[in-house]
Structure 1
């Protein structure tokens, strides 16, 4: 006897990853039909269905009525299609008004579910460039294509093609690994967050060089927001000391970790008498080899455009 949608949803919410894979496979033809109806036949419709699978993985725990999985998934894919038509940049979750939206830290979206290990195991099957664009798009505040392009140091067109390729490969990897044993990713995430906190604390104490030496390669290649490239620790240390001298502090807000990529998101806290000294935030993209950072890229968050004053 085939399990019902409600049974599959309950099993998925309880951490049975194969149940979610079966649910997505069962509804894929209907989701494609919706996508074709909105976008027409082509790769955009396939991408919308793949994006729906990623969103479902993140939000299955929020589905209040397990028996409504079909309508819920069709709503998700319809909104994903509309987002593509509008060429909007945020992750397409805006139409799910019926779901509770507490918006926790992005990393917490998966930490509370056993499916998180499954997703990260599937992500590990992707190449680093594909894994990085997915990590930025779905697990950080860097969701706009141009912002992702800046953080990766590639053109926007490359980001679009990588995201499309990554979503397809992730969907296939999820189905292929649904019944496999998955490593526990939570210790890695906690370890990388603790490392980030300790490194920024060391910077405030004047021990930033020692903190970098503990985790970074001495020949680390760094890329900076204006295109400047450096080798080694000297320039990162000087840049941090300059910020601290100018009374600019970095406050950690999010850490996303894969085996060979770590992303830190920080708020840049400017002094009260110079609130525009630095951009409002930054993203540290770190590529690791053998447990040490070999390549680093700093991306500054764009300052929001000022709202024009209304005429009186």
Structure 2
């Protein structure tokens, strides 16, 4: 009898997994409920009761949503879900052991390239459609946490958004709840092509860098960005378009270059993650990387820009330059 029950459970898991892979949000929700107790037991065994275990459970649900298409053995989806929790829990322990913020959240896969999440996951368009339903205050932390490569720790998100770490935790928790509701509400809606949008954003990023090197950054900003574009630090406006352009020109004249390493693109939010290449005679001119966090207006033009350095050079005061 027990063997028959176990076999029936595996078959039901397989049915639900295939349905979730086909885009049925209800099926994924049922899967998570079926295995919630086992997943939570893993989180508690690694982290004990508390906020970290709760965060790991919430992160695991979003990871499952992004990566459900990767499940090769639908009957073993329970073990796959517990593995996600186990890996995320161990990441938290490693971060605690180092007593410093982690630069990157390691995913439960050898493939940790956020662009591949978007390009390979059949649910990517649906996820982004749901993200667009959230308020900007909730959308930005979720996108940084789950879709960027270097701005993923609570401390980094807090600095990028100009809010306390506790507010980041609160917004992530609220955002996940609202995202789940938005996913259900948009399951049958028409979804825009995220892969095409990401490709276009990569092209735009490279064209922007090329224009800067050729001395045409100001012209490009005038043509493509909102006339009211503002440079922010956290939540504070610190510069307008003219200062932004002068800052870019100054860096180019000093021999600083940038190289695109990752693009995240929604209808209302675009993120370009760049490596910074400093001149040989001044290797500490700028921090080694920068993320352009751009909020877009209704026409898709950059309206607000935050420049965040995930790994600032300690001896340098971070100035509002590119």
TM-score with structure 2 setting the length: 0.80
Checking the alignment, whether the CA contact within 8 Å between 2:67 and 2:121 is kept in structure 1 is no
The structural deviation recorded for 1:265 is 0.8
Corresponding residue number in structure 1 for 2:122: 114
Checking the alignment, whether the CA contact within 8 Å between 2:126 and 2:186 is kept in structure 1 is yes
Corresponding residue number in structure 2 for 1:191: 200
Q: Which of the residues 14, 23, 39 maps onto 1:16?
A: 23
Corresponding residue number in structure 2 for 1:308: none
Counterparts of residues 1-312 of structure 1 (less than 5 Å): 4-13=12-21, 15-18=22-25, 19-32=27-40, 34-35=42-43, 45-81=53-89, 83-84=91-92, 88=96, 89-90=101-102, 93=106, 96=108, 99=109, 101-104=110-113, 106-140=114-148, 141-224=150-233, 229-231=238-240, 233-290=241-298, 291-303=300-312
Change (3 A) 1:163 1:64: same
The structural deviation recorded for 1:146 is 1.8
In the aligned structure 2, how far is the partner of 1:196 from the partner of 1:217? 16
TM-score with structure 1 setting the length: 0.83
The structural deviation recorded for 1:87 is 5.6
The structural deviation recorded for 1:124 is 1.5
In the aligned structure 1, how far is the partner of 2:75 from the partner of 2:289? 42
Task: Please tell me the root mean square deviation across aligned C-alpha atoms, in Å.
Answer: 3.0
Checking the alignment, whether the CA contact within 8 Å between 1:268 and 1:282 is kept in structure 2 is yes
The structural deviation recorded for 1:45 is 4.5
SS of 2:258 mapped into structure 1: strand
Change (3 A) 1:50 1:229: same
SS of 2:207 mapped into structure 1: helix
Checking the alignment, whether the CA contact within 8 Å between 1:5 and 1:67 is kept in structure 2 is yes
Q: 1:69-99: per-residue Cα shift (whole Å, max 9, x none)?
A: 10121222244345556665556546x4xx5
Equivalent pairs, count: 298
